Amino acid sequence: RLLEMDLRAAVQRDEFEAYYQPIRDVASGRVVAFEALLRWNHPQRGLIAPIDFIPLAEETGLIVQLGEFVLRSACIDAATWPDDVDLAVNLSPVQFKNPNLIASVIAALAASGLDARRLELEITESVLLQNSEATLTTLHELRAMGVRISLDDFGTGYSSLSYLRSFPFDKIKIDRSFVSELATREDSMAIIRAVTSLGRSLGIVTTAEGVENDAQLELLRREGCTQAQGYLFSKPRPASDVAVMLNRPR
Ligand code: G
Ligand code: G
Ligand code: MN
Ligand code: NA
């Protein structure tokens, strides 16, 4: 079992690393962004996935330090990529409660020289659920800097539609549970169709997550979904593999 003590020591010892998963434009096939996904290189247990330590990091508040680390290192990595390739970083609701969030985004951009317009921050509905006045102010401040805001895991929480009205999101990321059942369940197909159409009407980019095969990609193309991400293109890989992922035809 992982303990707060282990996590705290790991932060001190620098055992964390950002991995990257490509996001492709569906129409052109071009890689338009990478999503940074945190990994823990544990000296005994090997690579640990976020699901096994993010909840503890959130409970203990260590997610603030981890989040700053991801932002800082991912911006430094992204500054070396071609100018037309963006960076997406996940933000925990706990980071939103921290008054230093804006300052840490500014610091990460300044230290890396990354243009704010190349940074997308992914938040889930739970961010909007809590402390909404202060949260909206923060989101608008980030937007004013040029940073884009994505609504992650769309469709899995509640009252998603009211959140779309509370803040003008730049992107909706359709949860992979809808994509995985695309070919086998008509209701999933209908939901994807509705969300991509909603995105078009509102001028919001739609990204389908968890795309694993050509049949799914073809259906997404037919529905006019803007972007796709998933194992079909690549699993998340270390920064040193970004060039390879960029040069693959798909
Ligand atoms: O590959 P995957 O197992 O990498 O990621 C699982 C989940 O963990 C993602 O859906 C994402 O929400 C979360 N996650 C991954 N990296 C980060 C991160 O840097 N910060 C936060 N807050 N969550 C992350
Ligand atoms: O931020 P978010 O919750 O969306 O993180 C994406 C998660 O989804 C990561 O854990 C990542 O490893 C995982 N993932 C990415 N692509 C695929 C895929 O094609 N299939 C499945 N099952 N999981 C994926
Ligand atoms: Mn995400
Ligand atoms: Na997601």
Amino acid at 56: L
Contact 77, 85 (CB under 8 A): no
User: Mean pLDDT across the stretch 53-70?
Assistant: 95
Query: Atom 3 (ligand 2): residue with closest C-alpha?
Result: 153
pTM for the whole structure: 0.96
Radius of gyration of the chain (CA): 18
> Among the atoms of ligand 1, which is closest to the Cα of residue 91?
22
Please write the tens of the pLDDT for every residue from 88-146: 999 999 998 899 999 999 999 999 999 999 999 999 988 888 767 889 999 999 999 99
List, chain by chain if needed, residues with CB within 6 Å of any ligand 1 atom. 37-38, 49-51, 54, 67, 70, 90-92, 236
ipTM for this prediction = 0.96
Nearest Cα neighbor of 115 from 139, 159, 83, 154 is 83
Please write the tens of the pLDDT for every residue from 205-244: 999 999 999 999 999 999 999 999 999 999 999 999 999 9
Query: What would the DSSP string read from start to end of 201-241?
Result: HHT-EEEE----SHHHHHHHHHHT--EEESTTT---EEGGG
* pLDDT grade for 55, boundaries at 50, 70 and 90: very high
List, chain by chain if needed, residues with CB within 6 Å of any ligand 2 atom. 21, 37, 90, 152-153, 176, 209-212, 230-231, 236
